[in-house]
Amino acid sequence: MSETIDPNDRWPHEVYERLKSAGVRHVSYVPDAGHSTLIEAAIGDPTVTTTMLTTEEEGVAIATGAWLGGMRSVLLMQSSGVGNCINMLSLPVQTRTPLLMLVTMRGEWGEFNPWQVPMGQATEASLKAIGVQVVRPDTEADISAAAAQGALMAYEADQQVAVLIGQKLLGKKTW
């Protein structure tokens, strides 16, 4: 599979700096091309602990445990992963544990894979329905500010926040 995502985009680097400024020291992720620059930055940073997940709901539990242990964490996933962890999200929602998720969207503009469309269309409504705050940047220039706002809402106001990064901002994936 080849990606049209430009690895030189500034926003992943800006988002990483915003996360570091917010005190994030743990990153959980399921490998994803849309998050590859963020993942590589976290792996290469000796002050950050990373956890590669086999499924996204593990990341919700790990982020909750990290918070209880005094560490701020971020969970990186695709919109399809929201469907995988929707039930586990009851843990931080009910315990009012801070949770920050950066979600790369699928099933939107330029999608080639029909299996991605249903959850891509349901992601925002599903998160809102269970009490997760949603921040959705409109332009590439807004992504790092949205991540910073999400971190503020999560870590300072004990909210569960998902920053949804639209597929149009990420670039079209092709086979």
Span 2-174 CATH architecture: 3-Layer(aba) Sandwich (3.40)
Span 103-142, pLDDT tens digits:
998 867 776 777 877 788 889 999 999 999 999 998 888 9
Question: Residue 93 pLDDT more than 60?
Answer: yes
pTM over 0.85: yes
| Interval 15-58: pLDDT, tens | 999 999 999 999 999 998 889 999 999 999 999 999 999 999 99
- Report d(CA 143, CA 125) in Å as an integer: 20
* Mean pLDDT of the chain, nearest integer: 90
